[in-house]
Amino acid sequence: AQQFGIAEALKQLGVKDINPGSSTGSNWFANGEIIESYSPVDGQLIGKVQATTAADYEKVMAAATEAFKEFRTMPAPKRGEIVRQFGNKLRELKEPLGKLVSYEMGKSLQEGYGEVQEMIDICDFAVGLSRQLNGQVIPSERPGHVMREQWHPIGVVGIISAFNFPVAVWSWNTALAWICGDVCVWKASEKAPLCSIACQNIIADILKENGLPEGISCIVNGDYKVGEMITTDTRIPLVSATGSTRMGRIVGAKVAERFGKSLLELGGNNAIIITPTADLKVVVPGAVFGAVGTCGQRCTSTRRLIIHESVYDTVRDAIVGAYGQIKIGNPLDEKNHVGPLIDTDAVNTYLAAIEKAKAEGGNVLVEGGVLTGEGFESGCYVKPAIIEAENHFEIVQHETFAPILYLMKYSGEVENAIELQNGVAQGLSSSIMTNSMKEAEKFLSYAGSDCGIANVNIGTSGAEIGGAFGGEKETGGGRESGSDAWKVYMRRQTNTVNYSDQLPLAQGIKFDL
């Protein structure tokens, strides 16, 4: 890895061999067990982080709640200025941060840079938004009265994020939360803890330069036990959790039990429908990048292709042919398309899924398997697989976070394909490849895709930050990132003001004294 400048990147990001994993900015403290971060790229130890204990957590929360009292009084456009500086710092550090993402998580360097670009984009979006946290004026039924709706900061926002987007997901939440006047406590994945240290270092410097309290951005590190401190804490009115449906089910229930709000962005089981008029030039890169990009570890990764029987053989052969061109190897080497899975547990899950698909009657078109030998010492490199399967197979109904693509046929009208596409428990992303206006509009209509994201003639992954990001059903229902997703980070208040000399009651009620 050193030939790719990892040591230099770590230095520029202030990531040390041992990093205290609880922090309120520069005031580091952590007394828990040591979490070691190994790279799936070459199996090397990158660094260590100390986990957050219950006592550390209390210090973090004290700093965060104190910081909120100050931050909420700062005008929103001034908070936007802080986020602008943060975005600029990310521009400067795009190369080292992108490299660390690639090395610690295993995604290709291009995708590591792309992830940092998403952070920069959401900062720009949030800066503009900091002057547009608009409420509204509502006509009152009473004379001399006015009704208003306004948005206030909600408080301390808990952020729980996954290993696969170890920096961008945090920024989607923080950039919006900060302009809204909230402060954040982030529990990053214990599989990519150094990325969280790097991010924290960047924002801590900016807060310091601006004379702002460190508690505006806090991190806590550790496993689910640290997550539980957040989900059960009544001082945290909003918990935003991105990750598996299994995790979201627990987090959602815990937060609901105390009437907190949660924003859940969970698993997907994303399909592309390929119709008779689809353009192969668009289908092949869209489907292949969707299925093998990030080694199939995006929540938006393409898991299923639902292909019309009349074009099935042509599409199948083109996709199988393209798989023959895929280069698997060190993701820091830009000639490779696909890097490793996150760890050997993920490799075992991938292998078990292939076996399960075969046992259920799946027909393997492109064999999977683990790569061995020089360059593959970490044991995390696998071959993207293609399996002909049926939608009702149990394994097809589940999200396997790995590059396994299931192919299935549909016949007749597009409605049949939509039924298959919707026939899973998850509802994140979906797309249709068609040149028929009627098919496209049916797919986007109320009777069409039931997903939070529905695309035409592009794949399922790679959403831009400007749109609301998230999905329905077991995907959790939350929306992060663009559009009006900011509203969840604020509390809504309805005001009625009487500027008359009378006190008329609503609904015409008379109450004469």
**Which residues are the active-site residues?**
265
CA dist 307 and 284 (Å) reads 12
The dihedrals phi and psi of 434, each to the nearest 5 degrees, come to: -160, 155
Minimum distance between the CB of residue 281 and ligand UN1, rounded to whole angstroms? 21
CA dist 162 and 3 (Å) reads 28
Burial 313-334 (b: 16+ CB within 10 A, else e): eebbebbeebbeebebbbbbee
Minimum distance between the CB of residue 110 and ligand UN1, rounded to whole angstroms? 13
Minimum distance between the CB of residue 61 and ligand UN1, rounded to whole angstroms? 26
Minimum distance between the CB of residue 301 and ligand UN1, rounded to whole angstroms? 7
Nearer to ligand UN1, 165 or 486 (CB): 165
Minimum distance between the CB of residue 453 and ligand UN1, rounded to whole angstroms? 8
DSSP 368-387: --B--STT-TTS--B--EEE
CA dist 450 and 299 (Å) reads 16
Residue nearest to ligand UN1 (CB): 463
DSSP 404-471: EEEEEEE-SSHHHHHHHHH-SSEESEEEEE-S-HHHHHHHHSTTS--SSEEEESS-SS---TTSEE--
Residue 326 identity:
I
What would the two tokens of residue 77 be?
A: 């456009």
What would the two tokens of residue 455 be?
A: 């695309």
What would the two tokens of residue 421 be?
A: 């596409």
- Give me the residues that bind ligand UN1 (CB under 6 A), please: 118, 164-165, 169, 242, 298-300, 461-463
Contact 47, 15 (CB under 8 A): yes
Contact 342, 191 (CB under 8 A): yes
Minimum distance between the CB of residue 43 and ligand UN1, rounded to whole angstroms? 24
Nearer to ligand UN1, 181 or 248 (CB): 248
Nearer to ligand UN1, 183 or 295 (CB): 295
Angle (deg, nearest 10), helices 193-209 and 76-92: 130
Minimum distance between the CB of residue 268 and ligand UN1, rounded to whole angstroms? 8
Residue closest to 384 by CA, chosen among 355, 341, 345, 344:
341
